[in-house]
Chains A and B, each alone.
Chain A
Amino acid sequence: MLLYRAYAKLILKVLNRQTRAMINPIENLNKLFDSRIRLGIMSALMVNADVSFNDLKELLTITDGNLASHLKALEENGIIKVQKGFIGRKTNTTYLATKTGEKAFRAHIEALEKMIRSTK
């Protein structure tokens, strides 16, 4: 009985979210990903286990300071994690997406897709 109720609740929750998204897809667009650079960072972290600071810099062709500020914003919101390691004696800072971050970015992509479909 308890299991059944939990199941029903879950279905309601999913349905509720879907109708809401249908009415207003923009609602699901995440403000955190409202920049080309952050989209780029997240795209790279979604398809790689981890990406180093330098590789991100090359990929996005931006300055250290600019990249660092975007990374900081994403980190503070729990979207990405920082890993400090060493290659030989050199420090090697890599970044990876958190579970929350992956989920949020997927939702963002879905919202973008819905935007395209809904206005067609």
Chain B
Amino acid sequence: MTGQQQSLDDLQHIKKMMERSSRFISLSGLSGIAAGTCALIGAIVAYPYVYGHKDIFVDAAAGNELVRTGHFSVILYTWLFWIAAFTFAAAVISAFIFTYIRSKKQHIPLWGTTARRLMINVAIPLIVGGLFLIKLIQANDIGLIAPACLIFYGLALVNASKYSLNELRYLGYGQLILAVINLKFMGYGFYFWAIGFGVLHIVYGAVMWTRYEKE
């Protein structure tokens, strides 16, 4: 019946408009896969500096001097800092590219009220988390760095799910569970970090891609 079909179309239209106007829905599954891959590559590059015997200082003389004086800027002289910074930048840029492509396909502008709302709500836990991490490094609590990363990022994702795709919530739960398990197995943070930021992102991205974007 046409009346029935018309009503169904109307309801679907209403649902679509409600989602589009209140949530940032262009987030692509491929962004998750890309960010996860960057994290895993970063972890592989960083491994010999964490558990191996490679010298962690870019400039050993300057590094050792700063360690002696106990100045915080010593971190800028370590390979790990630069690997982490590069990994983060690569993950953000590659994730951005796929989400940009998807927003173009959906004919939704990338930057708007929904994107701004999402950014603010993700930034709150992440900025506080960043400040907390700096303090952890200063206090030399290296073992807590990985679980702290996972906790703040997990909370950011749970928060983000209200302003973007609902499934982000489960990715957030995954990070939080990993963080709690990590607290029981101190010293293995590196592996938990790689699972959380690498494997979970890839799994989430692949599921989302097959569910919503695969043609």
Contact = CB atoms under 8 A, between A and B. Distances in A.
Interface string A22-48: 000010000000001001101110111
B14 A116 contact: no
Contacts of B112: 55, 58
A73 B29 CA distance: 41
A58 B109 contact: yes
B14 A109 contact: yes
A104 interface: no
A38 B22 CA distance: 17
Contacts, number: 56
B18 A43 contact: yes
B4 interface: yes
Contact of A115 (B3, B14, B17, B20): B3
A43 B21 contact: yes
A61 interface: yes
Nearest to B1: A119
A22 to B, nearest CB: 16
Interface string A49-93: 001100100110100000000000000000000000000000000
A55 B113 contact: yes
Given A39-B13, A40-B13, A115 B7 contact: yes
Interface residues of B, number: 19
Contacts of B8: 116
A44 B14 CA distance: 9
Contacts of A55: 21, 112-113
A59 B3 contact: no
A21 interface: no
A110 B175 CA distance: 39
Contact of A51 (B11, B15, B21): B21
A112 B11 contact: yes
A119 B18 contact: no
B213 interface: no
Contact of B14 (A43, A58, A61): A43
Interface of A: 26, 36, 39-40, 42-44, 46-48, 51-52, 55, 58-59, 61, 109, 112-113, 115-116, 119-120
Closest 6 CB pairs of A and B: A43-B17, A44-B21, A115-B7, A47-B22, A119-B4, A112-B7
Given A47-B21, A59-B20, A120-B4, 19 more contacts: A26-B3, A39-B14, A39-B17, A43-B15, A43-B18, A43-B21, A44-B22, A46-B18, A47-B22, A48-B21, A48-B22, A51-B113, A55-B112, A55-B113, A58-B109, A59-B17, A109-B11, A113-B11, A116-B11
Interface of B: 1, 3-4, 7-8, 10-11, 13-15, 17-18, 20-22, 107, 109, 112-113
27 contacts: A39-B10, A39-B13, A39-B17, A42-B14, A43-B13, A43-B21, A44-B17, A44-B20, A44-B22, A47-B21, A47-B22, A48-B21, A48-B22, A51-B21, A51-B113, A52-B113, A55-B112, A59-B17, A109-B14, A112-B10, A113-B11, A115-B3, A115-B7, A116-B4, A116-B7, A119-B3, A120-B4
